[in-house]
Chains A and B, each alone.
Chain A
Amino acid sequence: MQLGTRGGLAVAGVVLLAGVVVAFALGRYPVTLIDLVQVLAAKLTGGPSGVPAVAETVIWQIRGPRVVAAVLVGAALSVAGTAFQGLFRNPLVSPDLLGASSGAALGTVIAIYFSFGVLAIQASAFAGGLLAVALVYLVGSTMRGGDTVLVLVLTGVVAGSLFGAGVGLMKYLADPYNQLPAMTFWLLGSLAGTTASDLLPLFGPILAGTVVLLALRWRMNAMSLPEEEARALGVPTGPLRIAVVAAATLVTAASVAAAGIVGWVGLVVPHLARFLVGPSFPRLLPTAAVLGGGYLLLIDTVARTVSSVEVPLGILTAVIGSPFFIALLRKSHRTWS
């Protein structure tokens, strides 16, 4: 089953829309649908809503920012994953391939180790992700000869393992009563703490990276070709590769800074999108963005509603993502390439 551009995008849009409606309607704090509609109407008309102030707080200060953050992070990870799968010509690639997630994780645990505040932890995570990929790229590009993509991938694997060891070391050194649980919770991934003021610093990098990737989507088809053929078609593969890696890293690092490590989204959603609209990037990328936003939003809604205690987002995306992925592989192995 492959739908045309319109059809596939429409399906993704419906998922996102359904996600937004469900996410606003559900939550641990009871807000009735009537109250919800009144609060929204009051915002539009500018009049008083007549709803208790707590319900307004829940919708505008807690649920709203979280819905926006889930959509942004989901879209960003999916676009980055799609771009990476094309760039590395491998359907098993996720956006943390070059160490963005593990670098951001190291930045996070270092900041927690030194008892920084929330904002500084996020900044440190973001910087860690960017630095990690920059380092991988620099080291990779100093290697002579051979397949540069392969060298990049291997350097990324090495760096990811090294940063993982760094995370382990910081956990080992951390205070076991206070810092260690904080590190563990942060790395498991969660949007529980999202506030309205978190959205602006998240918006910037994610929007910038996503726009760059979407703008490059016409050229990305050429990336899937062998390098000589792409060059013959007049596509400058080197600069294009740098641009894609930089943009994907920007959004991945920002996502980890905001939500911790949320695996599987950047791996599963590109396949889902490919299942809907086929492998051509001009159609694939926008679909992946919209679908990814809805996908993570639905999962986050489950994470925050099923019990009084939050289910870590990273665990839920893995539990839902892995069987999903297997099923998808069985059905759609022909839609790749």
Chain B
Amino acid sequence: MTLPDRRRVLAGLAAAVAPIPGIAQETVTREAAIRDSAGRPVPVPAAVARVFPAGPPAAILLYTLAPDLLLGWPRANRPEERAYLLPDVGSRPEVGRLTGRGNTANLEVVLQLKPDLILDVGSTAATYVSLADRVQGQTGIPYALLDGRLDAAAQTYRTLGQLVRREREGAELAAYTAAILKTVGERVASVHAERRPRTYYARGPRGLETGLAGSINVESIEIMGARNVAGERRGGLATVSLEQVLAWDPEVIVAIDLDFVATVRSDPAWASVTAVRNGRVHLAPKLPFGWVDFPPSVNRLLGLWWLGKVLYGDLFPEDLATIARDFHARFYHLPITAGQASQILAGRG
């Protein structure tokens, strides 16, 4: 066994300490820096071929814009979800999530997947900005943090288009998104505030979890101008008592739990609620991704039409199945039949 030359060891050590700034220096010169939604400059390589989604909203947003770039899904899609996605993309592997509530992705695995870009979509609060900076510094992979709010979706599409060099597709989806938001916004604005239905958003098997004012869970309900009965307080998700729901006496209940909707119609305790008496308890569709609440990404755009019909009826005369088919062809890249559309609208699965 020969001892290594001391000078070579020192050189190796120096190289081990130094290389990351060196490489970063080199790449920055041939990269364009694009500012993300948090105002961070993100150095993006000339060609982006592989993108790691930090969480479900990022995966869905990227899938709608450039499905071929998506490395995998934070959570593997279920068979019933895959039926409405491009077969080769919908079945890509589970890679875990990098942000949000708890990491499940391993940074070494992320590196092994050799992404050109890590994409995170959601809150741009300081927590997520610092997380983005940390991961970018640690891995040397550009990390873009984009605004996940629904009313910022058009701008988010344009920024993502620039980031992944798909400006044309980004602009198209941005225009379509802006058109949806403008149309529903104008129609809702025409309804006097007093005449907008008092709405209760029911989550959980008992229907007693709800979203307070400003929570991401009721963002689309708020965009649709409904008066959220739980909106007197700001916050996130909370549990309420059935007595409180009776006191609020909502005119419309938007629910996401199949079991709850099935039982609420026959439950004597709920019988006196106006929404139940008038048959205005509505189960939100959830395929391939939730229409109203989660994941909080562009999938909720389609849900705005559904909410429009549920909340305002005649004001939204369009046929939902037709709209859903158009949306699926544009955003999910896979046309669906009229039968599939009505199946999705039934909310089961």
Contacts and interface: CB of A to CB of B under 8 A. Distances in A.
Given A177-B294, A181-B237, A57 B268 contact: yes
A192 B242 contact: yes
A172 B96 CA distance: 11
Interface residues of A, number: 34
A312 B239 contact: yes
Interface string A137-180: 00000000000000000000000000000000000100111101
Contacts of A329: none
A308 B209 contact: no
B293 to A, nearest CB: 7
8 contacts: A28-B247, A57-B246, A57-B268, A58-B243, A192-B242, A304-B244, A308-B244, A310-B240
A309 B208 CA distance: 10
A53 interface: yes
Contacts of A190: 239
Contacts of A27: 241, 243
B196 to A, nearest CB: 20
Interface stretch (B12-20, B98-106, B140-148, B319-327): B98-106
B341 to A, nearest CB: 24
Contacts of A178: 203, 256, 294
Given A54-B272, A117-B259, A195-B269, A28 B204 contact: no
A74 B18 CA distance: 64
B241 A57 contact: no
Contacts of A308: 230, 232-233, 240, 244
What is the predominant secondary structure among interface residues of chain B facing chain A?
loop
A190 B244 CA distance: 15
A115 to B, nearest CB: 9
Interface string B245-277: 011000000001001000000011101100000
Contacts of A309: 212, 230, 233, 235, 238-240
Contacts of A117: 205, 259
B238 A310 contact: yes
Interface in A273-324: 304, 307-310, 312
Contact of A182 (B100, B204, B247, B267): B204
Contacts of A182: 203-205, 209
Interface of A: 27-30, 53-54, 57-58, 61-63, 117-118, 121, 172, 175-178, 180-182, 185, 190, 192-193, 195-196, 304, 307-310, 312
Given A28-B247, A118-B205, A181-B209, A57 B269 contact: yes
Contacts of A30: 247
A117 B206 CA distance: 9
A63 B244 CA distance: 11
Task: Identify the 3 closest CB pairs spanning chains A and B, nearest first.
Answer: A177-B294, A61-B269, A193-B206
A31 to B, nearest CB: 9
B212 A118 contact: no
A29 B267 CA distance: 18
Contacts of B268: 57, 61
B280 interface: no
B211 to A, nearest CB: 10
The residue among A177, A178, A190, A312 with the most chain B CB atoms within 10 A of its own CB is A177
A30 B271 CA distance: 17
B297 to A, nearest CB: 11
B246 A54 contact: yes
A181 B211 CA distance: 11
Given A181-B237, A185-B209, A193-B206, A176 B102 contact: yes
A229 to B, nearest CB: 49
Interface string B271-301: 1100000000000000000100111100000
B309 interface: no
Contacts of B290: 177
A282 to B, nearest CB: 38
Given A176-B101, A181-B209, A310 B239 contact: yes
A28 B204 CA distance: 21
B245 to A, nearest CB: 9
Given A117-B259, A176-B101, A58 B246 contact: yes
Given A117-B259, A190-B239, A192-B208, 15 more contacts: A27-B243, A28-B241, A28-B243, A54-B246, A57-B269, A58-B243, A62-B269, A118-B259, A176-B101, A180-B101, A182-B203, A185-B237, A192-B240, A307-B233, A309-B238
The residue among B209, B243, B268, B271 with the most chain A CB atoms within 10 A of its own CB is B243
A53 B243 contact: no
Given A57-B271, A309-B212, A175 B240 contact: no
A196 B205 CA distance: 16
A178 B284 CA distance: 14
Contacts of A192: 206, 208, 239-242
